[in-house]
Structure 1
Amino acid sequence: MCLNWIIWWLKTFISDSVSPSPSPFKKSLVGHPSLSDFIPTIRSGAWADIGFRSRMEDAYVCVDNFAQDFGLENTSGGPNAFYGVFDGHGGKHAADFAGCHLLRFILEDEEFPQEIERVISSAYLRTDAAFAKACSLDADLASGTTALTVIIMGRLLVVANTGDCRAVLCRQGKAIEMSTDHKPMHARERRRIEASGGCISSDGYLNGELNVARALGDWHLEGLKIMCENIELGPLIAEPELVSANLTEDDEFLIIGCDGIWEVFLSQNAVDFARRRLQEHNDPSLCSKELVDEALKRKSSDNLSAVIICFQQHRPQNLISPPSRARRRFSAQGLMDLQSLLDSSGGEQ
């Protein structure tokens, strides 16, 4: 028996047995240069339900082609789409107002689309100021709303969020959160609130009144918002956080939903659920309804609204994991027998 061959085989065997399995490859949100010619094909669907509440205060907007709807020239070389979910509180007026005006303020800005992120932020503040004026003329409009919007231009995806709605991107089955829930207890929001003179009660409410740290409206709530020389001050702000991404062929769909969805779904859980449904029927409208219905079954206590935006025509493909290398192991007795064999060989070649 060749001792050198046995030693080589043992080294190879032990190496195979103890080497760690490769970690999943992680990509950034920036598109890979080799996929720069990818142009998403947009399909969307939405569904809403009053849930167990006594009144409906959610609203949503789906505009699959705003260039066509508003008579604009399509210069992006691809889709021009806008989506939004708005979770009202204290009434639905603020949610409806934001849904009607945000896109208009974006499109009429002279710097759109060249300065798209600045334009979107400005549109949120303009919408908030316009609603304050409307409330000053009609006190019955007094209310507030969170707002999460999505603009897709060509491959560019821009998510803007004020409040606790959430956007989750599905990239080859993996959930990627594209927004932050603006809760008063969030460390960054808490620091900002306290620096502006606000406080957070023991139950996590801003000034004991709101369960969100950012919102449009709520001008009637004393001490939360102050307008000074066209600048909003106070612990409650309307300024959105923005996240941008260049879509690639790996990106399958986006879920945006009011917090009634996320009360009973983790982000990855929602992506897994929606992905299975899209594999079955490839219908984003039906998938949105099924997601809302499932949230109801899970006893969500809030109004429910969800929008699903697909980026490709075909249904999500089955994920194929590379076959793992079989891990072979020696038993203790086997090692003893092999050692005995090597000893008895006496080092013969």
Structure 2
Amino acid sequence: MSKENLITAIIYTGLDEQLGPEPNFWLPRETSKELLLHVSIKTITMLSAERGVTPRTLAFIPFAATGLKGIIKHIEWVDENRRGGTGHAAITIVFREEDDIIFYKYVNDLEFLFDRTAQQIMIIEESKKNRESINVLIQNLLNEVLIVLEEKKIEESQLSEVTAFPEKDQLHYQFKIIVAGDPTVGKTSTILRFTENAFRRSYIPTLGVAVSKKTINFDNIAVQLIMWDIAGQAKFEFMRTDFYKGAKAMFIVFDLTNPSSFDSVYNWYVDIVNHTESDEEMIGFVSGNKIDLVKDRKVQEIHARQLANQLNLEYFETSALTGNNIDIAFESLARALYDRNK
């Protein structure tokens, strides 16, 4: 993954009292009008959901129809000529949804860059002079973000070479894990949070599977989990039998804010069981992801645990955003596999 294609666009959106949200400055210049309008409307209307309170920290928002996400910095400044005496705008960096863990992981490193740019833009907007210089600030922010991400990518690569993948003769056990769940529940983000490699993974788009590895050491034993991130899209259903072959455990993820993804847990369980050949019951875990979205939660823990117990699966609630319980869940899985196979 090169730094050049990691970011789809950067867009500065202003709120015009007559016209509504308007994209003012953006890069690349050839960004489609449809994307500009879609991003501008959704980022500015976020403020109405917050009852006019401008978020002080960076926010993430999906643009589901496009397969993209955005990291947003909202800006507010004094303008006595406007209703309410304030002006509003937003800086949005747009990226592919599959790369969201990179921005989640390094959000603290990017916050300062956004804050500094926002402060500079506030001064320009309040003065009502040299607004074209905002375009330069947006270009500089884009370059700085790309530099930070490239530095983090290099750091991850150097760390991986030393610690992530030991030689096979250092391993005591290797297990293939099926990671399944509906699209957008956070399967990939969960895996990348666990492996701590936001940039490094092997993705095979034609097969709809991404393969990641991590070795866990405990009791002087090295256990490597080979995680197959199975595509949730229907177009890959006919290939799942081959994907499941040789798997020793399942890890089914659902979104705590999306009841339909929870309803799909049983279907994923049945699908995996019906397409694997094993004389013993497969070890399995269910992960209720996005526990950090407390206000948006729709699936209650008691119901999730009841389903997990019914299927004889372990249950964890996790957050790929904060990392909460991610390591514990996978380490518990590794220990369970070791205990069965030692």
Q: Which category describes the TM-score, using the shorter chain as reference length?
A: under 0.3
TM-score with structure 2 length normalisation? Answer: 0.23
Give the strand-richer structure, 1 or 2. 2
TM-score with structure 1 length normalisation? Answer: 0.23
Give the helix-richer structure, 1 or 2. 2
Q: Which has the higher contact order (CA 8 A, sep 6+)?
A: 1
